Structure formats: structure tokens, C-alpha cells
Amino acid sequence: MSEQPPKRSGIAIWLPLALFGAFFALVIWGLYRPADREVASAFIGKPLPQFNLPAATKERPGLTTAAMTTGKPRLLNVFASWCVPCAVEAPQLEALRQQGVEIDGVAIRDRKADLDRFLATYGNPFARIGKDDLSEVQLGIGSSGVPETFVIDGKGVIRHQHIGEIRPEDVPMILEKLKEAQS
Amino acid sequence: MIAEIGLAVLWMAAALAVLQLFAGFSALRPGGKALAGVVRPLAVMQGVLVAISFLALIDLFLETDLSVKLVAANSHSMKPFIFKLAGTWGNHEGSMLLWITIMAVSGGVVALVEKRLREDTLIATLAGQAFVSLGFYAFLLLSSNPFERLPEPAPEGQGLNPLLQDIGLAFHPPTLYVGYVGLSVAFSFAIGALITRDVGPAFARAMRPWVLGAWIFLTVGITAGSYWAYYTLGWGGWWFWDPVENASLMPWLAATALLHSCSVLASRNALRAWTVMLGVIAFSMSMVGTFLVRSGILTSVHAFAVDPERGSFILALLAIYIGGALALFGIRASTVTEGERFSLFSREASLVFNNVMLCGILGIVLLGTLYPLMTEAFGAKVSVGPPYFNPVSAIFAIPMMLMMGVGPLLRWRKDKPSRITAMVAVPALLVALVLLAIVLMFPSIRVLPMLGIAVGAGLAVASWLPLKGRNLRRTPLSVWGMVVAHCGLGVALLGAASESAFSTERLAAMNVGDTQSVGPIALKLEKIEPVAGPNWTAIEATVSASYKGGGAVTLHPQARTFTSPPGERTESALYTRWNGQLYAVLGNEGDDGRWQMRFWWKPFVPLLWLGGLLVAFGGLLALIGRVAQDVKRLRVGDKIAFRKTRQDMLK
């Protein structure tokens, strides 16, 4: 047996490069595809972890687990001033607030000045805003990006996770989930 | 001041790398000989400067200089010394600096000690090394400067997260890094040899210690990582075919194949193109693995440090280096002349067979890892797990391990089957007997674990046969290394198969005072009480366990609740005996006040990690043997050269 046939065929030599090209095309597609990763969260039905976040802005108090277990369902919005989709969903959050929904916010890796500017520009529908610079609470509730919105029932149990911005057509669904959490 | 020095020195090193690249390539052109002399000193100097830069960063972390952004974000003045030290590379910027440091220092060592290789090939290698490192310099200096100062010093660091203060987490990543980067040296050698069309035994001998070294670190890294996953994840499993695990396995498979084909090239001058190709593939797999882990392109249980932007950067580097190297291979491979021929029944042929098997496993692991992404491109979501990986990799692994028992007994070039039949008969008989015994005693056992136990036992014994008929004192260390490493693989397989075949599990709801049993172990739940740690509280169970009525030991499995950062984790408790391990996990309290407890008895599972360490130890023996041999040869060569010059002078 010889190592290779004496005359190497032209195609075999270029095969590794061709395979690499295919790999490259695949991961380029994977890297820039629209972020759609709907995986059912393992945190649904779990109580919120115990946390105590300091206030992210002077205008609102910080966020604790105790403050979120009031017996009434509410929304927990994970956002950041540097996140464009968060600005997109601001009118929907405001609309929800006007319908009597209580919304708490967790600001991820944010600066106070930027946050104040964001709230001044896009409105401030939040009752409380906690400051989460190390994404601790974010990871603790199974959120991997911004924005995400959680429906929390009156006992502090996570009932629903909405990944990505809340679009106008999502508002009825969110209200429905809040209603379900009531029961 | 230290930070500024570190940064300045790093820029200078990058500048030297640019010089090294251009001087190297100019020296290879006709008429560029004048520049040939500067390439080695440039590589050494570059290594020294980067090492100074890394030492500066270590110093900043040890001093906890809070005016440096990286230190403020990742360290804390109250951290124990060892974690301050490990904090240096426990973040993106620091780990990139570590990567470049290992790369530049290795380049410097190559420039200092490598004397066997043709000078133009060495220069091409160093130029290639400079080219690869420049991409990482650009990444570090332009987008992730580790020495950046804060406008005003932070009052205290933010890195006192006890969750991350784990000795395993501190040293596991750099171990794998050393392995990955060591393969970059092999890659540069392959590029150098392709450029100067000098693929031969000298090239293989120069490359071999680097491949061996990298391979040892990868072996240790994977073994330790597997044990870490086993005791922290609390599922009782030790390998999950998770993308992050596969990312570390693929370079190991490629490096193993490279190691063996390198040996063939070094001693027999065969498998030339194949060795070069594997040199490129091994480092490609390191970069592909790094990319898959860092970019977050695949969903993984380990995915927490992902950043698409960094992913894009690594992908760009991947395209330049790997695409470039494969293109170079395509252009040059036809000029790599065929090496020595060998017969179908020879040691070379057995090594080729196993190389193909290793590449087969590599291929199916890569395919399985990327498959979810591929199907998603066509609109379907699937996940690929053990039901695919285990049997499909066994198709390649089992013939490979059988061949491992026979191959080392064969002679180079050509051999006769009749010469080794008597020797092979012993382990072959053992495999058959073990198989028969298992079938008779445990008829319900599945096929794969059954084959695993038989083949593992056979290999563990057969691996010692190459020592037969040798004077043990005069047997080269590299042969001992091979024997130990092959035996280690057999032992590891035995442990893994035994775990999979004979593990017994007991899930029980227990009150305090209740007794249970799992396998040969009798258990009693003594008490349940709350305990508290620095940033967690836990419910801790005290369980007493006794093996076959012997003395009792106590275990303390916990269910921990962390406060900062919030989270929950089970802390499993282990009781290790020579012939197995008890694995205990505490679950939730049921509505009736009883506690969910989970126990496993895993016979012989410690052999799995013992085997992994044996494999690495075998590699270490071989490395020491090879380096000692090289040093001896170098000395003899120097002596001959010295005598020759003296004779010339006398004339």
C-alpha cells in the first residue's frame, strides 16, 4: 500500500478547502440569522430568586423580590438604554401601564446618565428600576438578552417569558397571560 | 506606570511581529539572504516583550490596581492570592493576552533551540507564526486592551463572586489554552514546510515535541473538565456531547492523529502530505472550537460568556488562517513528493488505519455539533445527543482500539502475520473470555458497554506486549510512554463502559432516620439541617453510607441557594472507593415532608479519570524521552562539528 497514489487527483486536494468553505458559509448564516431561539424556559413555574437590586435612577426605587410579591400579577421588564428594541417596545409598555398593569424594570449594564436620558426620551412606565450591572438577576431568572419581559404572579412565581420586544400585536397576549396569572 | 509599561511593551512586541513577518518573507525571496539573520532574534525578542507585558498584568492583579478597568471589573482586594492570580486570565482580555504570550514565547523557544530544520524552513515557520499572532495582536490592541485605565480609580473591585472562586475554573481554561496554542506552533511548522517544500523527517522531528506537549495539556484539560462536569452538574453523567465539550474533544482527536502520523514521518519518511494536512486541521479545530464557544452560535449548557462581535472577529481570523492554509495546501500538495512506501501489513499501515478512524470520529463529532445549525438553515429544529454520538463514534472507536493492540507489535515497512499471532492470542483470548463471561453473567447488558468492557480489558493488557522481549532498562522512554498511554485509554474505556453498564440508581423520598440501599451500599439519612456560606444558604443532608456492612462514612449533599448572584445549585457528595463511587444528590422537600434523595452506585467509574491521567502521563514520558534524545543528538552533533573545525584548523 502506498501513502497516496503517485498522481494526486486535483479534486481531492481541494476538498478540505471546499469543506471549510461550506462550514464558513453555514456559520456566517448562523451568526447573522435573525435571533429566534424559542426554547421553553426552565424557569416557568419557578419562584423568583431572592435579590435586592439598588436603584438605577433617582426617580424610582430599587427592586427587591419582596416588593414584587404583592399578591397582584405584574410584569418584569429586562431592558437597557443601549438596546434599540427596548426603545421600540416603550410605547407598548406605556400602553400596558395605562391599562393598570404594574411594571418593574431591571436595567442591564447601564449608566445612570444614559438611563435618565432614555427614560426622558421614551417614557418611564416603571414602578421600580433595579440596577443589574453584572447581569446577576438577569441570569438568575433565565433571561439571556434584552429586552425580555416576564409575567410574575402574585406569589412571585414566573408564569411567562416573552423574548424580544413587545410589539403592538403582542399586547393582547401579554394581557391574557396576566389574567391567567391572576387565577 | 506598570499598566503603561505593559501596554507599551505589547505594542512593541506587535511591531516586532510585523518585522518578523516581513523580514522572514523577504529572506525567502531571491536576494533577500541578508535579512535571514534577524528573524530568530526578532522572534526571541518578541517572546520576551510579550512575557513582560503579561507579567505586568499579573502584577496589576496581585496589587489590585483599581485604576485599571480590567482589574476593577474582575478582581477584589479581599480575594485570596491564588484567585487574584487566576483572575489575570479569568476574563476575555486577560485570556487573549495569555494566548498571545504562550504563542510568542513558544515562537521564541523555537527560534532559540531549533537546529535540525533547514534554515529557510525555520524562517518560513517563524514568519508564519508571526502572521498568525498578528491577528491576535490586532484583536487585543484594537478592541480589547487589557491595560485600559479608568478615568478615576474604582473604590473597590467587583470581582468577589465566590461562585467563580473555584480552583478548577481557575486552571482548567488555561490548560486547554496551552493545548490550543501549542497546536498553533505545529500549524506554523506545517505552513513553513509547505512554503519551502521541505516536508520530511526533520520537519516532523521539529514539530513532534510541540504536538506532544499540546496533546498532553489537552488530555489533562479534557479529563479534568469531564470530572468537573460530573461533580458540579449533579446529573451523574460525565460526558454530555455538549458543543463546548466537543469543542475541546475535536482538537484532541486531530492532535492524536497528528502525533502518530508525525512519528511515521519522523522515523520512516512516509505520510508526508497527510501529516501536513493534519497539522493544519489540528489548529483549525482549536480555532473552530474557540469560535463555537465564544460566538454563542450553538446553544450549550456552558454558554454564558458569549459575544457575537468577538465571534465575528474570531471567524474572520479563522477564514484568513485556515482558508489561507488550505489554499496553500491545495497549491503545494501536488509538489510534496510521495514518501517511502510500505506494505499493507506493517506498522505504518496500522497507524494509517487508526488515523483514518480518528479522523472518522472527528468528522462525526463535527457533523453532530453543527447538525442542529444545518437543519435550522432548512427550517427544522433538532438537537443531537448521545443516541447519535455514542453508537456512531463506536463504529470507528472499537476497530481503532482493537488495532491499537496489534499495531505497536508490527515491524515498520513489512511484516508477516505469523510472527505476532502467538503474542496477540493472549489479549484476543482475554477479550473473548470477558465477552463470554459478561453474556453469561449479565445477559441484559446492552451491546456497546459489553463491547467496551471486553475491548477495554483487552487493550489494557495488550498495550504492554511491545515490551516483551525487550531489555526493560534500555527500552526508550518514548516506548514506555506509548505503552502507558495506550494502557490508559483501555483503562478509561473500561471505567466508562462499566459505569454505563452497571450503574444502579435509587430515587427515594426519605424521612430523617430512613434507610435505603443502592448497589452494595447501605444508606441512612441521619439529619437535614440548614447551613450557610459566604453568599449562600443551603439545606444539607447528612447521610451515612456503608459498603457491604463495613464501617460507615458520612456524606453531605447540599441544595444551595445563592444570594449574589441569585441562583440555585445542587452540591453532590461523593464517596470514592477503589472499585466504584457513590454519588448522592439532595433534591426538594415533598409535600409530605419527605426529602427527595437520589443515589447512584457507579462501579469502577474512577478508572475513567485515572485512565485519562495515565494517557497524559504516557504523553509526558514520551515527551521527556524525545527531548532527551534530541538534546543528546545535538550534543553529539556539536562535538563532531567541533572536532571537524579543529581538524580543519590543524590542517
Least confident of B75-79, B122-126, B272-276, B375-379: B375-379
For residue B230 the three cell numbers come to 460530573
At residue A3, does pLDDT exceed 60? Answer: no
% pLDDT > 90, chain B: 49
- Is 90 exceeded by the pLDDT of residue A182? no
Nearest to B374 among A17, A21, A26 (CB): A26
pLDDT category of residue B304 using cuts at 50, 70 and 90: very low
pLDDT recorded at residue B396: 94
Report how far residue B209's alpha carbon sits from residue B457's, in angstroms, rounded to the nearest whole number.
Answer: 30
Residue B55 has pLDDT above 60, yes or no: yes
> How confident is residue B307, by pLDDT bands cut at 50, 70 and 90?
low
Q: Which three cell numbers stand for residue B333?
A: 500538495
> DSSP code of B463?
T
State residue B308's pLDDT score.
62
Range from B106-110, B255-259, B408-412, B533-537 carrying the lowest mean pLDDT: B533-537
- Give the pLDDT confidence score for residue B303 in this predicted structure: 43
Answer whether A34 touches B (CB < 8 Å): no
Q: How confident is the model at residue B73 (pLDDT cuts 50, 70, 90)?
A: confident
Tell how far CA B106 is from the center of its chain: 17
| Predicted pLDDT at B488 | 96
- List of chain B residues whose C-beta atoms are within 8 Å of the C-beta of residue A28: 315
Alpha helix segments (H runs only) across B199-271: 201-233, 243-268
- Look up residue B220 and give its three cell numbers: 489533562
CB contact residues (below 8 A), chain B span 513-572, against chain A: 561-568
Q: What is the pLDDT of residues B389-414, one digit of tens each?
A: 988 999 999 999 999 988 899 888 88
Q: Which domain holds residue A74?
A: 52-182
Residue A29 pLDDT class (50, 70, 90 cuts)? confident
Chain B residue closest in CA terms to A15: B330
Of A1, A39, A136, the CB nearest to B565: A136
Residues 6+ apart with CB under 8 A from B4: B147
Asked if the C-beta of A28 comes within 8 angstroms of chain B's C-beta atoms, the answer is yes
**Which chain B residues in 413-432 lie under 8 Å from chain A, judged by CB atoms?**
none
**What pLDDT, on the 0 to 100 scale, is given for residue B599?**
92
Any B CB within 8 A of A8 CB: yes
Residue A34 DSSP one-character state:
-
Quote the CA–CA distance of B564 and B562 in Å, as a whole number: 6
Query: Does residue A9 fall inside a structural domain?
Result: no
At residue B487, the pLDDT reads: 96
pLDDT for B57 equals 96
Omega before A147 cis (within 30°)?
yes
- What DSSP string describes B539-588? EEEEEEEEETT--EEEE--EEEEETTTTEEEEE-EEEEETTEEEEEEEEE
Mean pLDDT for the stretch of residues B36-62: 95
Distance set, CA B113 to CA B28, B43, B134, B242, B628 (Å): 21, 12, 23, 40, 13
A3 at the B interface (CB within 8 A)?
Answer: yes
3-state helix, strand, coil in chain B (%, to 5): 65, 10, 20
Q: For chain B, say whether A9 makes contact (Cβ under 8 Å).
A: no
Least confident interval from A118-122, B201-205, B211-215, B630-634: B630-634
In this structure, are residues A98 and A176 in contact, taking their beta carbons and an 8 Å threshold? no
3-state secondary structure of B87: helix
Q: Report B:433-472 residues touching A (Cβ under 8 A).
A: none
Kindly list the residues from chain A whose CB atom is less than 8 angstroms away from the CB atom of residue B564.
51, 136
Q: What pLDDT does B375 receive?
A: 83
pLDDT 10s digits, B163-181: 667 777 788 888 988 999 8
Mean pLDDT of B99-126: 92
Is there a contact between B273 and A4 if contact means CB atoms under 8 Å apart? Answer: yes
**pLDDT given at position A102:** 92
Residue A1 falls inside a structural domain: no
Full-model pTM: 0.81
| 8 Å CB contact of A3 and B561 | no
Cell matching residue B354: 487508526
A115 touches B: beta carbon within 8 Å? no
Retrieve residue B157's grid coordinates. Answer: 473591585
- B295 with A27: Cβ contact below 8 A: yes
Q: Per the domain annotation, does A5 fall within a domain? A: no
Q: How far is CA B300 from the centre of its chain?
A: 19
CATH assignment of the domain containing A90:
3.40.30.10
A145 and A163 Cβ atoms separated by less than 8 Å: yes
A30 close to B (CB below 8 A)? yes
Which cell numbers hold the place of A43?
Answer: 424557569
In a domain, A45, yes or no: no
Most confident range (mean pLDDT) of A84-98, B169-183, B484-498, B634-648 is B484-498
Query: Per-residue b/e over B272-306, b at no fewer than 16 CB within 10 Å?
Result: bbbbbbbbbbbbbbbbbbbbbbbbbbbebeebeeb
Residues B13/B60, Cβ–Cβ less than 8 Å: no
Antiparallel, parallel or unpaired: β A74-79 and B504-510: unpaired
pLDDT of residue B444 exceeding 90: no
Is residue A7 scored above 50 in pLDDT? no
The model's confidence at residue A39, banded by pLDDT at 50, 70 and 90, is low
Among B277, B308, B565, the residue with its CB nearest the CB of A16 is B277
Neighbours of A119 (CB within 10 A): 21
Cell numbers at A147, concatenated: 429586552
Q: Do B566 and A8 touch (CB under 8 A)?
A: no
Q: Shortest Cα distance from A120 to chain B (angstroms)?
A: 26
Q: pLDDT grade, residue B426 (50/70/90)?
A: confident
How many residues are listed for chain A in this entry? 183
Nearest CA in chain A to B537: A50
Q: Is the pLDDT of residue A1 over 60?
A: no
**Contact across the interface for A30 and B304, Cβ inside 8 Å:** no
**How many Å apart are CA B548 and CA B538, to the nearest integer?**
31
Mutate to test the interface with A, among B376, B413, B536 (most CBs of A within 10 A): B376
Residue A131 located in a structural domain: yes
CB atoms within 10 A of CB A87: 17
Give, in order, the Cα–Cα distances in Å from A160 to each of A40, A126, B393.
10, 19, 40
**Could you give the ipTM of this predicted complex?**
0.79
| Torsional sign, CA B97, B100, B104, B109 | positive
Alpha helices in B296-385 (DSSP H): 308-318, 324-332, 347-377
Point out which residues pair with A130 in neighbouring strands: A55, A106
Rounded Cα distance, B301 and B293, in Å: 11
**How far apart are the C-alpha atoms of B329 and B322, rounded to whole Å?**
10
Which of A1, A2, A3 is the best substitution to test chain B (most B C-beta atoms within 10 A)? A3
Contact assignment for A8 to B273 by CB distance below 8 Å: yes
Are B293 and B193 in contact by the 8 Å Cβ rule? The answer is no
Check CB contact under 8 Å for A17 and B330. Answer: yes
Three-class DSSP category at A125: coil
Give the Cα separation of B603 and B607 in Å (integer). Answer: 9
- Mutation to test the A interface, candidates B297, B332, B345, B353, most A Cβ within 10 Å: B297
Count the Cβ atoms, other than its own, within 10 Å of residue B175. 19
Task: Tell me the CA end-to-end span of chain B in Å, nearest whole number.
Answer: 59
Task: Tell me whether residue A58 is in a domain.
Answer: yes
The pLDDT tens digits of the residues spanning A153-173 come to 988 889 898 888 888 888 999
pLDDT band at B297 (very low <50, low <70, confident <90, very high): confident
Work out the average pLDDT over A16-44. Answer: 77
* Structure confidence by residue, pLDDT tens digits, B323-374: 999 999 988 887 777 778 888 889 999 999 999 999 999 999 999 998 888 8
pLDDT one-digit tens code per residue, B240-288: 888 888 989 999 999 999 999 999 999 888 888 899 999 999 999 999 9
Separation CA A14–CA B326 (nearest Å): 8
For B448-491, give the DSSP string.
Answer: HHHHHHHHHHHHHHHTTGGGTTS-GGGS-HHHHHHHHHHHHHHH
Q: CB distance B284–A20 less than 8 Å? A: yes
DSSP B196: T
- Closest among B299, B222, B228, B293 to B253, alpha carbons compared: B222
- Identify whether A149 is part of a domain: yes
Domain count, chain A: 1
C-alpha cell at A124: 418611564
Question: Highest-confidence range of A76-85, B293-302, B600-609, by mean pLDDT?
Answer: B600-609
Cα separation, B105 vs B47, in Å, equals 4
For B406, other C-beta atoms within 10 Å of its C-beta total 19
Q: Say if A41 falls within a structural domain.
A: no
Residues of A in contact with B342 (CB under 8 A): 1-3
Residues in chain B: 651
> Is the model's pLDDT at B236 over the cut of 80?
no
> Is the model's pLDDT at B91 over the cut of 50?
yes
What is the average pLDDT score of chain B? 88
| B133-142, B257-266, B416-425: range with lowest mean pLDDT | B416-425
Confidence of residue A8 (pLDDT cuts 50, 70, 90): low
Interface contact flag, B567 A139, Cβ < 8 Å: yes
Which of B281, B339, B376 lies closest to A3 in CB terms? B339
Please list every residue in chain A whose beta carbon sits closer than 8 Å to the beta carbon of residue B377.
26, 29-30
Q: Going by DSSP bridges, is the β-strand pair B567-571/B504-510 parallel, antiparallel, or unpaired?
A: unpaired
Task: Write out pLDDT tens, residues A92-139.
Answer: 999 999 998 999 999 988 888 889 999 998 989 999 999 988 888 888
- Assess whether pLDDT exceeds 50 at residue A5: no
Over residues B182-203, the mean pLDDT reads 92
Closest CA to B527 of B517, B538, B536, B540: B540
CB interface of B with A, residues 171-200, below 8 Å: none
Percent of chain B with pLDDT over 70: 96
The dihedral through the CA atoms of B518, B520, B526, B531 has a sign that is negative
List C-alpha distances in Å: B260 to B185, B200, B218, B399.
Answer: 17, 15, 16, 17
Chain A contact present for B273, CB below 8 A: yes
What's the confidence (pLDDT) of residue B589? Answer: 81
The CB density around residue B590, as the number of other CB atoms within 10 Å, is 11
B349 and chain A in contact, CB less than 8 A = yes
Closest CA to B165 of B536, B585, B606: B536
Buried b (16+ CB within 10 A) or exposed e, B120-146: bbbbbbbbbbbbbbbbbbebbbeebbb
Residues linked to residue B580 through DSSP beta bridges, in sequence order: B577, B603
Instruction: Report residue B582's pLDDT band, with 50, 70 and 90 as the boundaries.
Output: very high
Q: Largest alpha-carbon pair distance within chain A?
A: 81
**Closest residue by Cα to residue B149 from B29, B222, B66:** B66
State the DSSP H helix or E strand holding residue B527, giving kind and residue range, or none if neither: strand B521-532
Residue B79 has pLDDT above 70, yes or no: yes
C-beta separation of B432 from B406 below 8 A: no
- For residue B262, what pLDDT is reported? 93
Cα–Cα distance, B540 to B527 (Å, whole number):
8
B78 versus A17: which is more confidently predicted?
A: A17
Strand order in the sheet with B580-589: B504-510, B595-603, B580-589, B573-577
